[in-house]
Amino acid sequence: MRRRMRSHWTAAAAVVMAGVLSLSACGGGGGQAAQPTQGGGDAKKQVEVFSWWTGPGEADGLQAMRKIFEERNPSYTFFDAAVAGGSGDKAKALLQSKLQADTPPDTFQGHAGAELQGYIKAGDLEELNFLYDELKLKDAFPAQLVDQISVQGKIYSVPVNIHRSNVLWFNPAVLKEAGVAGAPKTLEEFVAALEKVKAKGKVPLSIGSEWTVTHLMESVLLGSLGTDAYNALFKPGADWNSPQVTKALEQFKTIMSYAGDPQDDWQPAAKQVADGEAAFNVMGDWAYGYFHNPPEGGLGKKSKTDFDWAPAPGTEGTYLWLSDSFTLPKGAKNRDGAVAWLKVAASKEGQDAFNPKKGSIPARKDAEHSLYTDYLADALKDWSSNKLAGSIQHGVAVNQPWLASINEAVGLFIGTKDVAGLQKALADAAQANAQ
């Protein structure tokens, strides 16, 4: 997923849309300026696949799936309608305009889970239970995953990968210098480690722009509350005013007191750890590619030496997940072609071609393990055995309006450090949006 990601609450929709329209008018990369055409006679029919995968790794993974798709479907040709920028912000703005104009792409990328609720309620998506039945996907995917992407028994997307949100990245040398034996397993151990690093004059915890603080908060909530209580927060009638949530937010405040100066985004915050300027950073596993990849697209660092990883404190045994998935829009020009694409995206071959290049793991349980090494081997093992919890920041647990309210509350908290105000705002956001 991970390209440079901007905070959702600072971008004005009109500005984003204007930028997208300007980009479309000017042409350029990503396929957004071109328009797919349907050939007549014996010409191949185009399948418009809309995503925001344009960067190194993600674009390579998409092309690997494209190759399989075109080999399996010689009567179709793949039309890459990828739109660059943000965490899909520009793509989502352009997509919304296409849906409102009743000119949807044949299939589009979205985060599996609650992020899709707006499209579902608007009647933009076909349900995909028929495909899950035909391909036996309820057996191929973990039962917990199927449950978390189902809406009243209906499923509207095909997850092509899994990312993990609750990863603690750390610099082994900085920890050793501070007298910290290894990755802290509890939030209390985490605070003690942060204090030791602070005493040595290094940055205890690096953070990026505001969205990375919401990302940190979700791991603290999970680590404090436990899996079941965390997941219950996103169900109707959940009690965000409970003493347990108060305790978790107080722990979040304490942890944030050790944060260094906010960096522009997640990459420079992660780089502080890789360069030995900071001890810890809580970030999704897309950071692994940034640490590990050669200098052309990463930092070229050595795992277990320059950087290491562990589950975020208190969350061992739980996979705080997010997923890129593909949908079937109602009114797609080439519905049969879209279904053919979804079958590739759902397949073992498609997911094993895509994910090693993307730096993620398959949603399927039958992945070819030999393809996934180093961090990805750990992730694959944990995915197959851990409990699941859905990410807040990355579209699983909350819908887009709810996330906007959470981000606003966290943004205010960064300035005020007011736990009571943060808890009230989170409770109000849940009451307004939980259904």
DSSP collapsed to 3 states, the chain: CCCCCCCCCCCCHHHHHHHHHHHHHHCCHHHCCCCCCCCCCCCCEEEEEECCCCCCCHHHHHHHHHHHHHHHCCCEEEEECCCCCCCCHHHHHHHHHHHHCCCCCCEEEEECCHHHHHHHHCCCECCCHHHHHHHCHHHHCCHHHHHHCEECCEECCEECCEEECCEEEECHHHHHHHCCCCCCCCHHHHHHHHHHHHHCCCEEECCCCHHHHHHHHHHHHHHHHCHHHHHHCCCCCCCCCCHHHHHHHHHHHHHHCCECCCCCCHHHHHHHHHCCCEEEEECCCHHHHHHHCCCCCCCCCCECCCEEEEECCCCCCEEEEECEEECCECCCCCHHHHHHHHHHHHCHHHHHHHHHHHCCECCCCCCCHHHCCCHHHHHHHHHHHCEEEECCCCCCCCCHHHHHHHHHHHHHHHHHCCHHHHHHHHHHHHHHHCC
Q: What is the mean pLDDT of residues 135-162?
A: 93
Instruction: Answer yes or no: is 96 within a domain.
Output: yes
Is a pLDDT exceeding 50 seen at residue 51? yes
Q: What is the pLDDT of residue 175?
A: 98
Span 402-413, pLDDT tens digits: 999 999 999 999
The answer on 31 and 64 residing in a single domain is yes
Q: What is the pLDDT of residue 245?
A: 98
The answer on 341 and 274 residing in a single domain is no
Q: What is the mean pLDDT of residues 198-227?
A: 97
Residue 38 — pLDDT band, cuts 50, 70, 90? Answer: low
The answer on 313 and 195 residing in a single domain is yes
Q: What is the pLDDT of residue 87?
A: 58
Is a pLDDT exceeding 80 seen at residue 317? yes
Is a pLDDT exceeding 70 seen at residue 221? yes
The answer on 275 and 229 residing in a single domain is yes
Report the range out of 6-20, 166-180, 382-396 with the highest average pLDDT.
166-180
Q: What is the mean pLDDT of residues 425-431?
A: 97
Residue 432 — pLDDT band, cuts 50, 70, 90? Answer: very high
The answer on 339 and 305 residing in a single domain is no
Percent of the chain exceeding pLDDT 70 equals 89
The answer on 308 and 330 residing in a single domain is no
Instruction: Answer yes or no: is 7 within a domain.
Output: no
Instruction: Answer yes or no: is 284 within a domain.
Output: yes
Instruction: Answer yes or no: is 271 within a domain.
Output: yes
Q: What is the pLDDT of residue 296?
A: 77
Q: What is the mean pLDDT of residues 140-163?
A: 93
Residue 58 — pLDDT band, cuts 50, 70, 90? Answer: confident
The answer on 270 and 413 residing in a single domain is yes
Span 334-350, pLDDT tens digits: 999 999 999 999 999 99
The answer on 149 and 219 residing in a single domain is no
Instruction: Answer yes or no: is 282 within a domain.
Output: yes
Q: What is the pLDDT of residue 81?
A: 95
Q: What is the pLDDT of residue 3?
A: 39
Average per-residue pLDDT for the chain: 89
Q: What is the pLDDT of residue 17?
A: 39
Is a pLDDT exceeding 90 seen at residue 298? no
Instruction: Answer yes or no: is 5 within a domain.
Output: no
The answer on 406 and 380 residing in a single domain is no
Q: What is the pLDDT of residue 120?
A: 94
Q: What CATH number is associated with residue 45?
A: 3.40.190.10
Residue 199 — pLDDT band, cuts 50, 70, 90? Answer: very high
Q: What is the mean pLDDT of residues 300-329?
A: 97
Q: What is the pLDDT of residue 35?
A: 54
Q: What is the pLDDT of residue 57?
A: 77
Q: What is the pLDDT of residue 293?
A: 85
The domain boundary residue, chosen from 385, 404, 421: 385
Q: 10-14, 94-98, 163-167, 282-286 — which is least confidently predicted? A: 10-14
The domain boundary residue, chosen from 350, 366, 385: 385
Instruction: Answer yes or no: is 211 within a domain.
Output: yes
Q: What is the pLDDT of residue 39?
A: 47
The answer on 120 and 64 residing in a single domain is yes
Q: What is the pLDDT of residue 434?
A: 84
Percent of the chain exceeding pLDDT 90 equals 78
Q: What is the pLDDT of residue 36?
A: 56
The answer on 121 and 69 residing in a single domain is yes
Range of the domain at 125: 13-161+325-385
Between residues 15 and 329, which one has the greater pLDDT?
Answer: 329
Is a pLDDT exceeding 90 seen at residue 31? no
Is a pLDDT exceeding 80 seen at residue 299? yes
Q: What is the mean pLDDT of residues 89-117?
A: 91
Total number of domains in the chain? 2
Instruction: Answer yes or no: is 140 within a domain.
Output: yes
The answer on 112 and 176 residing in a single domain is no
Q: What is the mean pLDDT of residues 201-205?
A: 98
The domain boundary residue, chosen from 368, 385, 402: 385
Span 248-269, pLDDT tens digits: 999 999 999 999 999 999 989 9
